[in-house]
Amino acid sequence: MKLSERVLSLKESPVRKLVPVANRAKEAGKKVYHLNIGQPDIKTPKVFMEAINNYDTDIIKYSFSYGEPVLIHAIQDFFKRDGIVFSDKNILITNGGSEAVTFATIAVCDPGDEILVPEPFYTNYNGFTGEVSAKIKPITTKAEDGYHLPKKADIVKLISPKTKAIMFSNPGNPTGTILRQDEMDMIAEIAIEYNLFIISDEVYRGMAFDGLEGISMGTIKGIEDRLIILESVSKRYSACGARIGAICSRNEELMANILKLCQARLCVATLEQIGAAALYKLPQSYTESIKNEYQKRRDIAYNALSQIPGVVCKKPTGAFYFIFQLPVEDAEEFIVWMLEDFELDGETIMLAPAEGFYATPGLGRNEARIAYVLNEDGMKRAMYILEKGLEAYQQIHR
């Protein structure tokens, strides 16, 4: 029996493929600071477990395919804070943002169809599109531009009859870049002119620094029928393991069709939806406090990195990641070396190699993504270890 071409051609997650290497380092007694994965060390708000512990039921029944009403209403209220109004039918609860991307792709793409995505991009977009035989067409963005979009002419020349949508995360993973208003307007303009869907992954919304707002595409007029917003509790509420996300769109035909996908897989876990509803009900002050915490960490990471000789990066303004160039030829090799061959008083760090965040071959080989998900002391120590590791690596590899 042969496996399918599509599954064979999927690449391993660059964020997760080095996990066995890290595990061996830990088994050898090393402490590993994980800067490779967006798993925050911030506590999940207590309301999550409280809501679950207080949920009174004898039978863990199927939820509704479209989701628990209490959660849908909480998400509606969350968007209303920014003046964005979604009806009950405009929101479908999904198994994390992951399933939201998959369902959006299935709904707009047949096999061979394409989605424009600015690269570097969230690497699992490759998996979600590839496993349903759709393709990503990258819009290359550059470190020296702070990973902002190229001009319109450079984007529209990538559009073909196979192009069905433009998809991006804003604030951006892995870049930490927040789209400017003029970039958002340009995306809307292109989508209208070329009749494309806009898939706006807003799972980091609210995590915007230096006075930036990081507003939703939902605030832009004239694209209501073509806009698909992807949501998740994972990052904003530090509840990655809850696997609760949502697809939000005012296109009723689209939502009626995605509902069929929801019905096929029956429902999302009931208890986690109950917990997630409590998270969305947290006041705006919660998001503010999280934002401030990450801004502090961003400053530690950025200040430390930008002082390491040979490291190239621009100051990121959102999410909790950024990408930077390392003064090495092959970032993955360096990351593995840090785990296998380096330690500072029994400790080392783990980054994500950035090549997997690019679709264009050859790009990103000397880049890494950092997730600044550790507390201040942890971040400072991890940055110090990185600096010392890099020194040692360069002495060996000069």
The sign one gets for the Cα dihedral 339, 344, 347, 350 is negative
- Report the residue number, 178 or 258, with the smaller CB distance to its own copies: 258
Q: Are 72 and 93 in contact (CB under 8 A)?
A: yes
| Residue 110 binds to its own copies (criterion: CB under 8 A) | yes
Residue selected from 268, 331, 371, 374 as contacting its own copies according to rule CB under 8 A = 268
Q: In the range 176-215, which residues lie near its own copies by CB under 8 A? A: 195-197
- Report the residue number, 43 or 151, with the smaller CB distance to its own copies: 43
CB of 265 to its own copies, least distance (A): 4
Q: Are 247 and 226 in contact (CB under 8 A)?
A: no
Provide the β-strand partners of residue 230: 201, 247
CB of 310 to its own copies, least distance (A): 31
Cα 100 off chain centre by: 12
Alpha helices in 173-283, H assignment, sequence order: 181-193, 252-264, 270-280
Residue selected from 264, 283, 377, 398 as contacting its own copies according to rule CB under 8 A = 264
| Residue 8 binds to its own copies (criterion: CB under 8 A) | yes
| Residue 161 binds to its own copies (criterion: CB under 8 A) | no
Helix or strand (DSSP H, E) at 78: helix 69-80
CB of 396 to its own copies, least distance (A): 31
Name the one residue in this structure whose structure tokens are 């917003």.
Answer: 229
Name the one residue in this structure whose structure tokens are 């509420």.
Answer: 237
Q: Are 202 and 217 in contact (CB under 8 A)?
A: yes
CB of 46 to its own copies, least distance (A): 9
Residue selected from 18, 22, 30, 63 as contacting its own copies according to rule CB under 8 A = 63
**Can you tell me the distance from the alpha carbon of 337 to that of 359, in angstroms, rounded to the nearest whole number?**
25
Residue selected from 47, 70, 89, 133 as contacting its own copies according to rule CB under 8 A = 133
How many residues make contact with its own copies (CB under 8 A)?
79
| Residue 252 binds to its own copies (criterion: CB under 8 A) | no
- Report the residue number, 178 or 254, with the smaller CB distance to its own copies: 254
- Report the residue number, 30 or 164, with the smaller CB distance to its own copies: 164
- Report the residue number, 61 or 398, with the smaller CB distance to its own copies: 61
Q: In the range 10-39, which residues lie near its own copies by CB under 8 A? A: 10-13, 16-17, 37, 39
Stretch that binds its own copies, among 168-176, 253-261, 327-335, 374-382 (CB under 8 A): 253-261
- Report the residue number, 127 or 146, with the smaller CB distance to its own copies: 127
Cα 316 off chain centre by: 15
Give which of 360, 273, 366, 349 is closest to 26, Cα–Cα.
349
CB of 38 to its own copies, least distance (A): 9
Give which of 79, 65, 80 is closest to 229, Cα–Cα.
79
Terminal alpha carbon distance of the chain:
47
| Residue 89 binds to its own copies (criterion: CB under 8 A) | no
Q: Are 254 and 227 in contact (CB under 8 A)?
A: no
